[in-house]
Amino acid sequence: MDLLKFAFLMGVMFAVFGFLWGFVRLAITLLRPKHIEKNMIEEYSIKALQYFFLIDVTFLFCLHQNNSEYILPYELYTGAMILVLYFVGKLQNRQKRSTLFKASLGDNMKFLTPMFNLRAEIGVILFGMGMFAFFIFYPQYAHNPISNWFYETIVGIEEAPVIGFVFKIVGFFILLSIVNKLLNGIFYLVSGKPLVTTSMHVGGDKKEDDPNKFDDFEEL
């Protein structure tokens, strides 16, 4: 399969998975008793579960693309690189959002500030990539009812005439975001400066981001 097409299909898959997972998060929120507040452990336990199924579905996607029980080398490298860039992009996006909320709202409205813990974020990313490596050596464990349902539903939505086209557009922008991060990383390694730099305004003051941080599309 063409490398660019493979990366594009992964972007579409990420978009549809994010859409489906939104309903899962909504169900968890509705089922949680009102007197129990969400805490950091619950937040990152759910995130670890989300990353597990996203990794699993990604692995199933790679297997079904070549009709094999084993992932091909170029799919391995491309899939792993895209996953890392995608996760890092989401981490940066949440970090910026948390910083913006803290700077704008202060300590009086902490309950509105999104939960963010850098160590926990890195931990769930490492957990996800560890599961990806595990499935490479033990692909039979990638098949389970929930992951199979996610995969089949994603394929069904992707092939739908109207909504599938919408998610292809979203997937295209996700792919652009990933390519942007890849190019910025390469330019930073070669020249010491990223190809694109961004700035963030908080409370009327202009603050320059670190040169190794890149802007990202809104998190799905």
pLDDT in tens, 81-101: 888 888 888 888 888 887 887
Task: Give CA separation, 167 vs 82, 93, 194, in Å.
Answer: 18, 21, 29
Domains held by the chain: number: 1
pTM higher than 0.75, yes or no? Answer: yes
Q: Which of 206, 180, 19, 196 is nearest to 89 (CA)?
A: 180
Which residues does the chain have with pLDDT short of 50? 198-220
Residue 48 pLDDT: 94
Residues 6+ apart with CB under 8 A from 83: 55, 58, 128, 129, 132
Residue 25 located in a structural domain: yes
Residue 11 located in a structural domain: yes
Residue 191 located in a structural domain: no
Residue 194 located in a structural domain: no
Q: Which range marks the domain in which residue 53 is found?
A: 3-183
Residue 153 located in a structural domain: yes
Residue 30 pLDDT: 87
Residue 151 located in a structural domain: yes
d(CA 53, CA 49): 6
Residue 161 located in a structural domain: yes
Residue 210 located in a structural domain: no
